[in-house]
Structure 1
Amino acid sequence: MAPFVTLINLAGLIALLLWGVHMVQSGLQKAFGPSLKTVLGSALKNRLRAFAAGVGITTLLQSSTAVGLMAASFVAYGIVPLSSALAVMLGANVGTTLIVQVLSFDIAQAAPALILVGLILFRSFPTTRGHDLGRVAIGLGLMLIALHGLIVELEKIDSTQTFQAIAKLISDQPALALIIATILTWLAHSSVAVMLLVMSLASQGIVQVETALAFVLGANLGTALNPWLESRHGDNPSALRLPVGNLINRAAAVAIAFPLTSWLAPMVLMIDDDKGRAVANFHTAFNLVNALVVLPFLTPFESLLRRLMPDRPDKEAPGTPRYLDKAACAMPLMALVNASREALRMVDVLHAMIAGTRAVLEEGAKSKEKVAEVKELDDALDKLNAAIKTYLTEIDHQQLSEADRKRLSEVFTFITNIEHAGDVIDHSILKQATKRIKRGVTFSPEGFAEIRGMMERLSWNLQAASTVFMTEDAETARKLADEKARFRSLESSATDAHFARLRAGKKETQATTSMHLDLVRDLKLINAHLVAAAAYPVLEEKGKLLSSRVADA
């Protein structure tokens, strides 16, 4: 009976450790996630800054998966290069080791104080960041209690013959240790929890340091499996580049380090004779050295990934959601990132609608099929908009922080305006284009040049809107907001030029006068939706948006 009770105790303590890790991760993500996402978006413009941001943000969020999702969302629409996102992942790999470093010290006595402080914060600030930081403190306290309990229980079973036989089997088979750690990390979705368990085993001498290093390598490999496995459902190989690149990098580093574990074990003990600390030091050193070696070669690595996984036409129906993972609804930060990534697909659809509409206007009678294609794209836009809104309502709103609620509102505003922009094309511009095709009339060269220039500027503004939506960069938001005045000016000058051609008696202008003016007005309306979708929320948050354009009396 005693061995059975001990096993139950071990399982319970491991579960407590996992729950403590979950509380720390969820609390930090709710407290700092949205603001850190903005920091990450700015840092991704530079490779070294991206690496530093990966270290810092992952240290706070304690989730390289969450950081990877944010980086992938920036890459999804080409806002940042893949090499910068890979640099973030290198930094994230280092960042996950820092909490392990802190917990490798004997600070179990701080557990009651952490839980007490955490409970006070949690109960005193029910809707503020203090509430989330209280969750973090409670989680850390539970982790320390679990670690201390693991050490006590492991001491009890260290002398049993069965456990010694299992420990000897694993110690004699480092490859088995690597495989076990990989599987455990994949199942637990947490390299931190597995690393803390390995440190406990090593500190009690239950496994040799060499075997513990193999466990460390397995934990590093296992933590790269989840993003890759979760991305495999996509039909487009380009969506896999970041998770596959991270997995290739980890696998190559593990393959190089694994044969050297017997040589590295004495070296890490020379630095610190505490076996638990030695394991933590190796974990940090492994990821740091890997980052320093790979960082200079990210550009050719990006080229290799692009050759291995080239872009190809998306065979999936454009209105079918791709990133709305229901399981992520319990974690607001990940769910909001998923919704943001799906919103970028709406941008892709709207971009295709603008390009298709331009082709309709250029090709005249030959464009009847393209009208139907653009209408189908608008249907896809409506479906994505409805799917994202439904997904947003399924997020656990009780776990939403104030910053999460703000981001949810921004996503809702963005997709609503993008959908409205598509409706302008479908319900107004395409009707005008169809009417022109039936009448067999064409725009004057000067008139169509004006329309073409406005549509080209719309495409650029749509790209800018997606950038502002993901990075919340105030300077880009201001430039996008200025485009509203620019389009008013374009509308005014196009109207004046149109009436000048009417006075000159140009036949094309006379035949298309109402269509031309309606088109110009509709294009200005689409641009207004783009500005409202992305620029205004950011400028309002920064206090740089006036309540009215009307001058005081």
Structure 2
Amino acid sequence: MQSVIVMINLAGAVALLLFGLAEVKQGVLQAFGGRLRAVLAAGTRRSWRALLSGLGATLALQSSTATGLMTASFVERGLVEPRMAQVVLLGANIGTALTAWIVAAGIAWLSPVLLLLGFALRRNGAGPRQGAGIALMGVGLLLLSLHLLSLATEPMRASPALAAFIGLLDDAWPVALLLSAGLALAAASSLAVVILVTALAAAGILSDGLVVVLVLGANLGGAIPPVLATSGAPMAARRVVLGNLVVRGCGTLAVLPLADRLGDALTNLGLAGPNLPVDVHLLFNLALALAAWPLAGSLARLMRRLLPDTPQERNAPKFLDPTELSTPVVALASATREVLGVGDLVEKMLCDVRDAFRQRDPTFLRGIEPLEKDVDRLQQAVKIYIAQISHDEGSDKAHERSAEIVDYAINLEHIGDIIEKGLVPEIGKMVAFDLRFSDEGFRELDSFMETTIENLRMAQTIFVTRDLDLSRRLMDAKLTVRQIEKTSAARHFQRLRENRRASIETSSLHLDILRDLKRINAHIASVAHPIMDAEGLLVESRVRHGASGLPSSVVSN
């Protein structure tokens, strides 16, 4: 029964440690997320600055995995050179080792102080100040978990079963290495395992050589989660984190046979004791950085040969960075850029339809179906991304902007459907059956298509700027479109009454194209609705209600 209680206490202490790490990461991202990413991206122009950037980001985030994923996303978007990215991760490895050293040297009374101060900031602050409070509470929980780990491992000193197990590990270093690596992989943190080893070392049940082996395993296992997290990412991102795993793996294999000697050497230097694991962790990563730093360029080229570029998926999402989800303002900006790209694809579809109509050439229509599939895929990716953004309670503006982005993306997808299922078959029929509009009818439809394209371009600008004057113009354009459709239909019926052969042959086509262009413009104008509504310029109905005292003519939303 006593052993069960010990294991429960140990598991609870490790869980608190992991929770503290997550809280520090969340708080730092909330307080400095955008600036932290900007500093990390800008600090990679020189090798030594790249190393310091990785170290600083990891100290702030308490996670080399988070730093690795951010760096990989920068490489994917061409913001960081692969060689510099490898140096950043060397700095991140040092950062996580330095974090373990600082936590292990923490003062017991500092934990409640940080928890109290962090709680006050979190409760009474907002935005960056609240994020700083969350981060301070996370650090306090880290120190508290270390104290609990020490208490949980204290009964282990007298445990014969544990002594026998440790003895087996002492005689089977590869097994000890794999066990430690597996724990680091399961916890997604080498820091957690190193702190656990520190607690066991303080209990006096680990030999110096076994301490070195367990720390090596923690380093190896801690490099695996970023590789797994980027398994579906483009090759440029995967090469970065795989290179870091190769570096740690080579370092581990080089040091493993010397673990006993290294333990003895550290003992002779006076480093043996309860803090030996964090000392080994820090020394290993410093030595690894010094050895691998000059080889960063060669490593990047090797990774490129091992993971060559594959043909890119058509119009895959370019800006939906998962590492930005915890910072809503940054994530929403990225989603906005992605939806602008969707709008550009829809504009290309409209231009292709216009050119096919003008030149009576069906080859312009061949690329529309693949473009429509791209639009469907991208708008679905945007919706999923927006749903994953971590909104703070009460962040009404962020919620409203999220709704606007999703609404515009859905409207663009509807426009793509109308083009593919309506306009494309209609223009294809015109060409296949050699149907020719009257000169007047052709000019009316061509002008309507051009107006639609211009309205879409205006909507793209409104989506980014939220300009009220442009929104008014687009809503006025919606009324103009309605008038264009009515006038063109009336003129077409007049030509039918005049028995014009061209108008009779193309009657259904003419009216169908008018209807589809009108529907497209209705979706385009929707981007102005939230802006006009926020100014109180929209009402719910266009129905005339003279008897009730309502305005006799209002604009629909």
Is the pair's TM-score, using the shorter chain for normalization, greater than 0.5?
yes
In the other structure, the counterpart of 1:245 is: 243
| Partners of 2:5 and 2:344 in 1: CA distance | 61
1:191–1:370 Cα change, 3 Å: farther
1:400–1:44 Cα change, 3 Å: farther
In the other structure, the counterpart of 1:69 is: 69
* Contact 1:180 1:218 (C-alpha < 8 Å) held by counterparts: yes
| Partners of 1:75 and 1:345 in 2: CA distance | 22
1:189–1:274 Cα change, 3 Å: same
1:222 maps to a residue whose letter is G
Q: Could you tell me how far 1:318 is from its partner in structure 2?
A: 5.3
1:525–1:280 Cα change, 3 Å: same
Instruction: Name the % identity.
Output: 29
In the other structure, the counterpart of 1:486 is: none
1:311 maps to a residue whose letter is D
| Partners of 1:401 and 1:394 in 2: CA distance | 15
In the other structure, the counterpart of 2:216 is: 217
| Partners of 1:172 and 1:350 in 2: CA distance | 64
1:332 maps to a residue whose letter is S
| Partners of 1:527 and 1:296 in 2: CA distance | 51
1:140–1:383 Cα change, 3 Å: same
1:120 maps to a residue whose letter is A
Secondary structure at the counterpart of residue 243 of structure 1: helix
1:157–1:300 Cα change, 3 Å: closer
Q: Could you tell me how far 1:197 is from its partner in structure 2?
A: 0.8
| Partners of 1:264 and 1:106 in 2: CA distance | 26
In the other structure, the counterpart of 1:469 is: none
Secondary structure at the counterpart of residue 158 of structure 1: helix
**Which range moved further: 75-84 or 34-43?**
75-84
In the other structure, the counterpart of 1:477 is: none
1:351–1:71 Cα change, 3 Å: farther
Cα-to-partner distance string for 1:469-522 (whole Å, 9 max, x where unaligned): xxxxxxxxxxxxxxxxxxxxxxxxxxxxxxxxxxxxxxxxxx99x989x98996
* Contact 2:227 2:241 (C-alpha < 8 Å) held by counterparts: yes
2:34 maps to a residue whose letter is P
Check if 1:58 corresponds to 2:58.
yes
In the other structure, the counterpart of 1:203 is: 202
Q: Could you tell me how far 1:218 is from its partner in structure 2?
A: 1.1
1:372 maps to a residue whose letter is R
In the other structure, the counterpart of 2:168 is: 169
1:533–1:265 Cα change, 3 Å: farther
Q: Which has the higher contact order (CA 8 A, sep 6+)?
A: 1
1:75–1:413 Cα change, 3 Å: farther
| Partners of 1:407 and 1:92 in 2: CA distance | 34
* Contact 2:188 2:222 (C-alpha < 8 Å) held by counterparts: yes
1:154 maps to a residue whose letter is T
| Partners of 2:399 and 2:223 in 1: CA distance | 28
* Contact 1:47 1:87 (C-alpha < 8 Å) held by counterparts: yes
| Partners of 1:4 and 1:343 in 2: CA distance | 53
1:357–1:78 Cα change, 3 Å: farther
* Contact 2:178 2:217 (C-alpha < 8 Å) held by counterparts: yes
| Partners of 1:411 and 1:284 in 2: CA distance | 47
Check if 1:192 corresponds to 2:191.
yes
* Contact 1:336 1:408 (C-alpha < 8 Å) held by counterparts: no
Check if 1:98 corresponds to 2:98.
yes
| Partners of 1:136 and 1:399 in 2: CA distance | 18
Secondary structure at the counterpart of residue 198 of structure 1: helix
| Partners of 1:310 and 1:218 in 2: CA distance | 29
| Partners of 2:273 and 2:394 in 1: CA distance | 41
1:53–1:238 Cα change, 3 Å: closer
1:410–1:334 Cα change, 3 Å: closer
* Contact 1:181 1:218 (C-alpha < 8 Å) held by counterparts: yes
* Contact 1:336 1:407 (C-alpha < 8 Å) held by counterparts: no
> CA RMSD of the aligned region, Å?
4.9
1:152 maps to a residue whose letter is L
**Which range moved further: 375-384 or 177-186?**
375-384
| Partners of 1:298 and 1:408 in 2: CA distance | 45
In the other structure, the counterpart of 1:384 is: 378
1:297–1:273 Cα change, 3 Å: closer
* Contact 1:23 1:138 (C-alpha < 8 Å) held by counterparts: yes
2:276 maps to a residue whose letter is A
* Contact 1:110 1:141 (C-alpha < 8 Å) held by counterparts: yes
* Contact 1:184 1:194 (C-alpha < 8 Å) held by counterparts: yes
Ranges in structure 2 where 5+ consecutive residues have no aligned partner: 433-441, 468-557
* Contact 2:24 2:134 (C-alpha < 8 Å) held by counterparts: yes
2:31 maps to a residue whose letter is A
| Partners of 1:222 and 1:194 in 2: CA distance | 10
1:201–1:377 Cα change, 3 Å: same
2:43 maps to a residue whose letter is A
Cα-to-partner distance string for 1:289-342 (whole Å, 9 max, x where unaligned): 22222222222222222222222224x6757999787xx89x725997799599
* Contact 2:108 2:147 (C-alpha < 8 Å) held by counterparts: yes
Q: Could you tell me how far 1:199 is from its partner in structure 2?
A: 1.1
Q: Could you tell me how far 1:107 is from its partner in structure 2?
A: 0.9
TM-score, normalised by the number of residues in structure 1: 0.68
1:354–1:265 Cα change, 3 Å: farther
In the other structure, the counterpart of 2:496 is: none
2:281 maps to a residue whose letter is H
Aligned residues: 460
* Contact 2:319 2:338 (C-alpha < 8 Å) held by counterparts: no
In the other structure, the counterpart of 2:140 is: 141
| Partners of 2:229 and 2:305 in 1: CA distance | 22
Cα-to-partner distance string for 1:411-440 (whole Å, 9 max, x where unaligned): 98699699979979x979x99xx89x969x
* Contact 1:73 1:340 (C-alpha < 8 Å) held by counterparts: no
TM-score, normalised by the number of residues in structure 2: 0.67
